Amino acid sequence: MTFELTKDYLDHIQSAIEAGDETLLRTEMEELFPADISGILDELEPESAHYLLSLLDKSVGAEILANSDPTIRTDLLKLFSSEELAPFINQMDSDDAVDLLNEQPIQIREEVIGFLEDREQARFILDLLHYEDGVAGSLMQKELIKISVNLTVNACIEEIRQQAEDVENVYAVYVVDEVGKLLGLISLKKIVLARKNAKIADLYDEDVVFVETYRPVAEVAELMQKYDLDAIPVVNVQQRLLGRITIDDVVDVITEQAEEDIQVISGLSGEVEEDDNVWQRSKVQLPWLVAGAVGSLLAATVINGFQSELGKVAALAAFIPIIGSTGGNVGIQTSSLILQSLTDTTGLSMTMAKRLVRTLLVAIINGLVVGLIAGTYTFIIGEPRLFFVVATSLLAVVLLASFMGTVTPLLLNRIGINPAVASGPFITTANDLIGIGVYFMIAQWLLVEV
């Protein structure tokens, strides 16, 4: 049955915490999944969450901490001593343990490692701590199953039994030589079906996809998606097997990157959460709002410069909104398509010239259709003399917005800036300004009597 966290249940747990009723709390938590308990901890004050977490089995607590929101986890872990935190770290996969420890001050980090009872875990963590964020080494975990190519199937099974105690999910068994160089992998199915005296050297598959520790995580995600992998081995420059990256960690990276891009496209200058205070949310939203306001004021200045034209043909003002909105929409649509194409790293993507030609052809079709629709409307409202002004302006605006939506992210990408910043408020504001200016210049040009 799906657990639903209600205010009444939360009050019930809070009352038990205040009363120090450990028996009730343990009984209640035993009936819930770690993800459900995590939801409860997120709603409690750090002191109450600390108390409740300390009552849980260390393996359950480790799973909760490993998957909790870092912003919430940071405040919670401030209440734990290094000695209290060490048992939870002992129960985590090495990659999750490193992620958590990297959020702590150096002193706390070193103290926790010193308190670890599992010295192999401590060694794994020390091996992983030196990798920079954003590369395969920072994403990998040391826990995996590897066997020597010289073993028989019977000896291999015994080796798997010993190593599997520390591995949460066994996706494949990696085969290495005497110095630990990755040779290939063998499936559990093949091991089970093989004769017990058969040699691993005759059974393993040499075609294995792997990544080096320095490869960008985006490349790792692309390889795992392309080859439909549940896990991918990580090697050093000598191709010695160091660890593996599992699909759950890659999904976390993809989700985090997507959230960041959405926030940037939406005009947010940093990370924002629903429970952030008023000043934090305002600080994140304000920069682009100010930029948008400045752009709108510039657009108003352009309109003000054509007051005489508006005074003679007042109907021109009726079409200002469609000019601005069409330019903004086209710019965002075009830049979104370009952003998608930039994720293609196969080397088969189109050149900038081809992109511009295709964008131009699409823009001409879209501009003609939208222009004719809006031009027809000029007859409906009794201003047929504005037909060519509105139709031509919309065609020009669509062409310009498509050009900007294509070129801007490509140029930003070329100089190493996140191209997602080219979307949203930036392109919308720029196209408003350019579109209105083009509209009035075309009106001046085509309306001879103005």
Note whether 423 and 339 are within 8 A (CB).
Answer: yes
How far apart are the C-alpha atoms of 284 and 395, rounded to whole Å?
36
pLDDT of 291 reads 66
Q: Is the dihedral of CA 269, 274, 278, 280 positive or negative?
A: negative
DSSP 142-209: S---EEETT-BHHHHHHHHHHHGGG-S----EEEE-TT-BEEEEE-HHHHHHS-TT-BGGGT-B----
- Over range 396-421, report the average pLDDT: 80
Contact 410, 350 (CB under 8 A): no
> What's the fold here for domain 146-254?
CBS-domain (3.10.580)
CA pair distance 231, 252, nearest whole angstrom: 14
Alpha carbon 81 to chain centroid distance? 32
**How many whole angstroms separate alpha carbon 71 and alpha carbon 58?**
21
C-alpha angle 31/32/37, rounded to 5°? 140
Q: Tell me: pLDDT of 262 over 90.
A: no
The tokens describing 397, both together, are 């605006």
| Range name among 151-165, 349-363, 398-412, 430-444 with the lowest pLDDT average | 349-363
Q: Are 235 and 257 in contact (CB under 8 A)?
A: no
Strand pairing class (211-212; 182-186) = unpaired
Coil, strand or helix at 202: helix
The Cα–Cα gap between 76 and 92 comes to 17
Residue 190: is it exposed, middle or buried by C-beta count within 10 angstroms (0-12/13-18/19+)?
middle
Q: Distances from the Cα of 176 to the Cαs of 148, 204, 229, 239, in angstroms?
A: 5, 10, 20, 10
Q: How is residue 109 written in tokens?
A: 């980090």
CA–CA–CA angle 388, 394, 398 (5° rounding): 145
pLDDT at 84 over 70: yes
Give the Cα-Cα-Cα angle 31, 98, 272 (nearest 5 degrees).
75
Crossing angle of helices 34-43/58-67, nearest 10°?
A: 70
Q: What band does 280 get if pLDDT is binned at 50, 70 and 90?
A: low
Average model confidence (pLDDT) for the chain? 83
User: Is the pLDDT at 34 greater than 60, yes or no?
Assistant: yes
Mean pLDDT of 18-41: 91
What's the confidence (pLDDT) of residue 450?
A: 42
Overall residue count recorded for the chain in this entry: 450
Task: Show me where the domains of the chain are located.
Answer: 7-134, 146-254, 278-446
278-446: CATH, from 1.10.357.20, 3.10.270.10, 3.30.413.10, 1.10.3720.10: 1.10.357.20
How many CB atoms lie under 10 A from the CB of residue 301?
11
Q: In what order do the strands lie in the sheet with 146-148?
A: 146-148, 173-176, 182-186
Per-residue tokens: 137? 């080494």
293 vs 284, which has greater pLDDT?
A: 293
Q: Is pLDDT larger for residue 108 or for residue 277?
A: 108
Residue 245: left (phi > 0), alpha (psi -120 to 50), or beta?
beta
Task: Pick 116 or 255 by higher pLDDT.
Answer: 116
Residue with the bigger pLDDT between 404 and 26: it is 26
What is the SS3 assignment for 383? Answer: coil
Residue 239 has pLDDT above 60, yes or no: yes
Query: Mean of the pLDDT values across residues 303-328?
Result: 76
Instruction: Please give the distance of CA 209 from its chain centroid, rounded to a whole number.
Output: 24
Is the model's pLDDT at 55 over the cut of 90?
yes
Percent residues over pLDDT 70 in the chain: 84
Report which of 247, 244, 230, 253 is spatially closest to residue 140, judged by C-alpha positions.
244
* CATH homologous superfamily of 7-134: MgtE N-terminal domain-like (1.25.60.10)
Give the pLDDT score at 277: 60
Q: Other C-beta atoms within 10 Å of 397: how many?
A: 30
For residue 243, what are its two tokens? 């660890």
- Residue 116 in contact with residue 227, Cβ under 8 Å? no
Read off the tokens for 254: 């993809």
Minimum mean pLDDT range among 52-56, 103-107, 221-225, 288-292: 288-292
Of 43-52, 115-124, 314-323, the range with the lowest mean pLDDT is: 314-323
- Whether the CB-CB separation of 303 and 436 falls below 8 Å is answered with yes
205: DSSP letter: B
Whether 146-254 shares its CATH topology with 278-446 is answered no
